[in-house]
Amino acid sequence: MRNSAIATTGMAFLSSTSVLHALTREESPFEGYNPYAETKTDLRASRFFGKHITVKGKIFDKNGTFSIANAKVEVWHLSPNSTKYRHRAILKTNNSGEYQFITDFPNREYGKIARIFFKVSKNETSYFTELFVSDFGANISGKHWEENNKLGKELFPKKETFFNKTTFTFNISLK
């Protein structure tokens, strides 16, 4: 009787842990994702020091036709001079489907280009993607191109620099 009580208790403990893990952990194809980030549009460590970039864009429906208001946009990237993902935020698109944030220029993993990760959600639909950034411009992955090519001329990211202020425009269609 005593052994079966211990086994039953142990089984309940494992089940509770598994349920808790399933409820709090969301799967991401990219390292560093944290669903508990703050809601903010300024991710900079300092307003006065460092290299800052602004990222803005529009979230579209799966056909690339209509913008999506109130979509949840989660962003994260490696912090400058670090291997930690301390730069992260949650944003909401405005009524025109637009989002915008300012951040420090991301660090990069050894042998890779610097990147900013995105998770876009609306209702029960979520989509993960990434934006590659450098001093020379921004690029998208082949996967992003395949899944967002209905955006047409809005697909490829744009870089604008004006008086030492760099802005990247990056549009995404929600699957």
Domain-wise residue ranges, the chain = 52-173
116 vs 164, higher pLDDT:
116
Tell me how far CA of residue 58 lies from CA of 5, 70, 98, 154, 174, in angstroms.
57, 11, 4, 9, 10
Give the model's pLDDT for residue 65.
93
Least-confidence region, from 11-20, 33-42, 45-54, 152-161: 11-20
Give the strand pairing for 137-140 and 158-162.
Answer: unpaired
Long-range contacts of residues 94-98, Cβ cutoff 8 Å, at least 24 apart = 94/69, 95/69, 96/58, 96/67, 96/69, 97/58, 97/59, 97/60, 97/66, 97/67, 97/68, 97/69, 97/71, 98/56, 98/57, 98/58, 98/67
Global pTM? 0.83
Please, what is the average pLDDT of the chain?
A: 87
Least-confidence region, from 10-24, 96-110, 145-159: 10-24
Q: Residues 105-113: what's their mean pLDDT?
A: 93
pLDDT bracket for residue 2 (50, 70, 90): low
Phi-psi region at 97: left, alpha or beta (left = phi > 0; alpha = psi -120 to 50)? left
> What is the Cα–Cα distance from 16 to 171, expressed in whole angstroms?
40
Give the model's pLDDT for residue 22.
43
Which residue type sits at 101? F
Residue 21 has pLDDT above 90, yes or no: no
Q: CATH fold of 52-173, please? A: Protocatechuate 3,4-Dioxygenase, subunit A (2.60.130)
Give the model's pLDDT for residue 20.
33
pLDDT bracket for residue 49 (50, 70, 90): confident
Q: Residues 141-147: what's their mean pLDDT?
A: 95
Q: Residues 70-79: what's their mean pLDDT?
A: 96
Residue 129 has pLDDT above 90, yes or no: yes
